[in-house]
Amino acid sequence: GCSAPTVAPDLLPLEVPAGERPEAWAADIEQLIAGRPAVDEPVVFLGSSSIRLWRSLEADMAPIPVINCGFGGSRIFDSVYWLEDLLHGLEPRALVVFAGTNDITGDRPRDADYMVTMFDALVARLRALGHDVPLLYIAISPTPSRERHLDLVLEVNRRIAARCAEDQQLHFVDTATALLKADGRPDPKWFVADQLHLNADGYASWTATIRPALEDLPEPSMLSSSHETRSFHSHVKSATK
């Protein structure tokens, strides 16, 4: 079996919030790690089923190297809890996270304060693991199937966007606005029949927002040299000529 994350000496053990069961994902995490391709300096995509089901991710981001670490149905604390295991042995150039949508569902959704606290915990965990790399947070999607929580979703997105604005290494990626109709309600056209998960057009919309955000980041080797401003974008352009 897959044991709980091993804790580095300088890494504080995580307190599991009431109502969370991160250990339920142990088998999924073990499988993810075992099947992971060898990729140098990847952009790691982490989060729930919308990441896991992104079959075209590699093609959509090429030639930016990516690893898909999505595990379906997971909540934001699950990403915090398993981050050490998922990043073990990797030198990510950036982390892209879509987590939190499964916290805002049902009759007892998590509130905005909890969501911001968990986002802060995720950033702190990433830094404690020694990864001083950009973190891109994909907006929680406003979905037709969970429309009753729309105001809360938009509030959480606003609060996390404000957090990201305070730190040059944190980037809020607003994929949500494009999924809304002119009247501000979720547009069913971006989703499959369950009205929760994205269809091919939905992923194309995500790509149109997420890919440029990644291309604008500094090259991995340039992250520590402020005099050089060459970005992924110039690298991508030269690689696709």
Which segments within 122-218 are labelled E, that is strand?
A: 135-138, 170-173
- Tell me, what's the pLDDT at 218? 82
CA distance 162 to 220: 25
**How many CB atoms are closer than 10 A to CB 228?**
12
What percent of the chain lies above the pLDDT cut of 90? 83
- Give the model confidence (pLDDT) of 7-29 as tens digits: 444 566 789 999 999 999 999 99
Contact 213, 171 (CB under 8 A): yes
Contacts of 48 (CB under 8 A, 6+ apart): 70, 71, 72, 73, 74, 75, 98, 99, 101, 102
CA distance 77 to 20: 7
- pTM, rounded to two decimals: 0.88
Residue 43: both structure tokens together: 């952009």
CA distance 211 to 96: 11
The DSSP symbol for 66 reads E
For the cut 80, the answer to whether the pLDDT of residue 239 exceeds it is no
Reported for 18-25, long-range contacts at CB under 8 A and 24+ positions apart, including other chains, are: 20/75, 20/77, 20/78, 20/81, 22/77, 22/78, 22/81, 22/82, 25/71, 25/74, 25/78, 25/82
- Give the model confidence (pLDDT) of 185-236 as tens digits: 999 999 999 999 999 999 999 999 999 999 999 877 544 434 344 555 544 4
Q: Average pLDDT of 91-100? A: 97
- Tell me, what's the pLDDT at 104? 97
**3-class DSSP state for residue 180?**
strand
